[in-house]
Amino acid sequence: MKNIKISFLVLLAFVFVFNACKDDEKTETVTGFGSVEIEFDNQAGDKSLVLGNTYKTAFGDTVKFTTFNYYISNIVFGKADGTTYTVPKNESYFLCKQDDETTRAITIDNVPAGDYTTLSFVVGVDSAKSVSAIGERTGVLDPATGASGMYWSWNSGYIFVKVEGTSPAAPLDAGSGERIFQYHTGLFGGYNSTTLNNLKTIKLTAPDEAAEVRENHEAPHFHLYVDVLQMFTSPTNISIAENPYSHSGAYSKTVADNYADMFIIDHVHNH
Amino acid sequence: MKKLLLFSWFLTLLLLQACNKDENTKTSFQGIVLPANYPAPVYDLSQNPVTEAGFTLGKRLFYERLLSRDTTISCGDCHISYAAFSHPDHATSHGIDNLFGKRNAPAIQNMLWSPTFFWDGGVPNLDLVPLNAIQNPVEMDETPAHVLEKLRNHPAYPGLFKAAYGTDEINTARFLQALSQFMGMLVSANSPYNQYVRKEPGAVLSVEGLAGLEVFTAKCATCHSGALLTDYQFHNNGILDDFSQDQGRFEISTFQEDIGKFKTPSLHNVAVTDPYMHNGKFKTLRSVLDHYSSGVKDSPTLDPRLRQADGTLGIPLSAEEKNYLIAFLNSLTDEDFLRDVRFAE
């Protein structure tokens, strides 16, 4: 009888402790706001991308890149429980350029503290912003300055992804005397009638640890790999000889479908 | 006594003069006067209210050759006021380095009502139009950023921007919106036809003009529709059957069915906006009418209205109907607009 009583007590204690544990977990919910860094680390296959170095596409073309720029917008962080934090729209436009390292690591402030396991964003400039009044297009969206080279003035809209380079497979360009290829992809669906829509929303999941955002703590770091060679393959192997240029034509859909899978989270780094 | 009389005469004269002067300087800035017979504008004027200083700045920019790479060409060189801001005698535009574009410079008038700009509708907002002209290698071949730089370093522009916007900051939006203020002011609505539509006292169309209006309503106004005489849609009106030089709307939409379609132009002031069509193919209104009646070329995207039930192409027009139509088209000329000194260089 005594034994039973004791074991009952032990059980009770267990339950208590267990519950306490659970409670503890609950009350550990963090509060406040912190920052997150996202690094866009451009790659060419399994190598770090270096402008001017030689690489091979899936089709077999030898390529050297001179430009690799893209817009990232509408960033959303997600937690394991499915809840999300959407970065305020107007603070959510970035233009990453391979030739300007400072543009490839971005910091988002005022993110509610928490453990974030997913990251989603739009490649390009969403349609609402693409049709907004000129006064609302500042910074990297200013067509005359920040967006210089990334804006089509004859088919009003931003170039979402710009990839340029040289390849023996490309035709000779009379102006430069080089064999150049150019893939400028834009088109957000049109202003007052439908056109192609090449906007891509990318959803990525952190491979192992979550990004732990805490108040007064160094920002965790999403380290993304962006593989430019993915633009030349999956689903379609691009032959540079056949399609050396793509701008606002129908082929841009092929290019956009290809680059939709060029982003992965390589790792998350918590400090 | 005589002296006093003379003096009082002198005084009245002076007063009269003063009065006169007052009246002169008092011709206060009218802003945009929306014509009673036009619909509500498409351009959002509340985003960019037109002021006298803004208009003055916009006008100066429109005629400013600094906007081009080598300071040789202004907007006003291709868009000339007495031709309703089109480019007379130029089938296709003639720009920097004597380079020719592939398209005819259209009139700039009643832009506030236009939902899209350019023959292919590639630009959806008046504010964004100048970016194209400035950057186009065969037009001004300059970067907008460099234009802003040149304006900032100019002795007069910071002051003009300050007058228009309160501070002397020169940025993209201010620059573009000043140009829009000038172009927005270019409202043409005082042709004999417009006065007739508004039933203004004394407004009459000739007998031929009235007969022409009837033909026009029956045979042309499905595309050249409404008060602005355009549906702002894109059609292939059969001037070509090979569009490899210029594919029109297709270049924007990428849809096969848009190959060879171009925006219906407004016909206000059409008598002075020659040469006609996106490629400046026709020099006279008569040749345009001959085209519609007997020159229409077939291609897969030809507008069905230019294909008769029996398979013949074009719009049947008798010689008489053509004369009437020409009388009507001539009644669309708004002399007040073409001679308005507020707009001329």
Cβ of A155 within 8 Å of Cβ of B127? The answer is no
The values of phi and psi at residue A123, to 5°, are -90, 110
Which of B47, B177, B252 would you mutate first to test chain A, the one with the most A CBs within 10 A? B252
By C-alpha distance, the chain A residue nearest B147 is A144
- Could you state, in order of their start, the residue ranges of all structural domains in chain A? 1-31, 32-269
Residue A244 falls in which region: left (phi positive, over 0), alpha (psi -120 to 50) or beta:
alpha
Mean local confidence (pLDDT), A241-250: 94
CA distance, residue B168 to nearest chain A CA (Å): 16
Provide residues of A within 8 Å CB-CB of chain B: 131, 133-135, 137, 142-145, 148, 151, 153-156, 187, 190-196, 248-250, 252
Distance CA A130, CA A48 (A): 32
Q: At B249, list the tokens.
A: 């709307």
CA distance, residue B87 to nearest chain A CA (Å): 20
Cβ of B123 within 8 Å of Cβ of A196? The answer is no
CA distance, residue B177 to nearest chain A CA (Å): 8
- Beta strand pairing status for B234-235 and B262-263? antiparallel
Give the model confidence (pLDDT) of B125-181 as tens digits. Answer: 999 999 999 998 888 889 999 999 999 999 999 999 999 999 999 999 999 999 999
Residue B59 has pLDDT above 70, yes or no: yes
Cβ of A133 within 8 Å of Cβ of B127? The answer is yes
CA distance, residue B33 to nearest chain A CA (Å): 23
Other CB atoms within 10 A of residue A132 CB? 14
Cβ of B47 within 8 Å of Cβ of A190? The answer is no
Mean local confidence (pLDDT), A69-85: 97
ipTM above 0.85, yes or no: no
The CA-to-CA distance between both ends of chain A, in Å, stands at 55
pLDDT at B97: 74
Give the model confidence (pLDDT) of A204-225 as tens digits. Answer: 999 989 999 999 999 999 999 9
Mean local confidence (pLDDT), B57-75: 95
pLDDT at A14: 47
CA distance, residue B238 to nearest chain A CA (Å): 23
Which residues of chain A does B135 touch, with a Cβ-Cβ cutoff of 8 Å?
A: 153
Which residues of chain A does B44 touch, with a Cβ-Cβ cutoff of 8 Å?
A: 133
Which residues of chain A does B254 touch, with a Cβ-Cβ cutoff of 8 Å?
A: 187, 195-196, 248-250, 252
**DSSP string over B132-189:** HHHH-TTTT---HHHHHHHHHTSSSHHHHHHHHHSS----HHHHHHHHHHHHHH----
Mean local confidence (pLDDT), B114-125: 96
CA distance, residue A179 to nearest chain B CA (Å): 21
What is this structure's pTM? 0.89
Domains contained in chain B, CATH given: 45-187 (1.10.760.10), 192-336 (1.10.760.10)
Residue A263 has pLDDT above 50, yes or no: yes
Task: Nearest by CB to A154, from B122, B177, B254: name it.
Answer: B122
* A11 vs B156 pLDDT, higher one: B156
- Answer yes or no: are the C-beta atoms of A102 and A64 closer than 8 Å: no
- Spell B242-253 as b/e; 16+ CB within 10 A means b: ebeebbbbbbbb
Which of A156, A248, A252 would you mutate first to test chain B, the one with the most B CBs within 10 A? A156
* Residue A120 bridge partners (DSSP): A76, A203
Q: At A129, list the tokens.
A: 């912003």
Provide residues of B within 8 Å CB-CB of chain A: 44, 47, 115-116, 118, 122-125, 127-128, 131-132, 134-136, 143-145, 147-148, 171-173, 175-177, 251-255
Task: Nearest by CB to A195, from B148, B172, B253: name it.
Answer: B253
pLDDT at A244: 97
Mean local confidence (pLDDT), B269-274: 97
pLDDT at A177: 92
pLDDT at A16: 46
Distance CA A265, CA A203 (A): 10
* Residue B288 bridge partners (DSSP): none
pLDDT at A12: 47
Task: Nearest by CB to B145, from A144, A190, A195: name it.
Answer: A144
Residue B13 has pLDDT above 50, yes or no: no
Task: Nearest by CB to A154, from B132, B253, B254: name it.
Answer: B132
By C-alpha distance, the chain A residue nearest B172 is A144
Cβ of B144 within 8 Å of Cβ of A191? The answer is no
The values of phi and psi at residue A77, to 5°, are -100, 140
Q: How confident is the model at residue A3 (pLDDT cuts 50, 70, 90)?
A: low
Average pLDDT of chain A to the nearest whole number: 90
Mean local confidence (pLDDT), A82-96: 96
C-alpha R_g of chain A: 24
pLDDT at B344: 95
Torsion of CA B100, B106, B107, B113, to 10 degrees: -140
Residue A187 has pLDDT above 90, yes or no: yes
Cβ of A148 within 8 Å of Cβ of B143? The answer is yes
- Answer yes or no: are the C-beta atoms of B257 and B289 closer than 8 Å: no
Task: Nearest by CB to A145, from B135, B145, B255: name it.
Answer: B145
- Answer yes or no: are the C-beta atoms of A151 and A124 closer than 8 Å: no
DSSP B85: T
pLDDT at B98: 73
Other CB atoms within 10 A of residue B87 CB? 22
Residue A90 has pLDDT above 80, yes or no: yes
Residue A28 has pLDDT above 60, yes or no: no
Give the model confidence (pLDDT) of A152-162 as tens digits. Answer: 999 999 999 99
Q: Which of B329, B314, B306, B238 is nearest to B278 (CA)?
A: B238
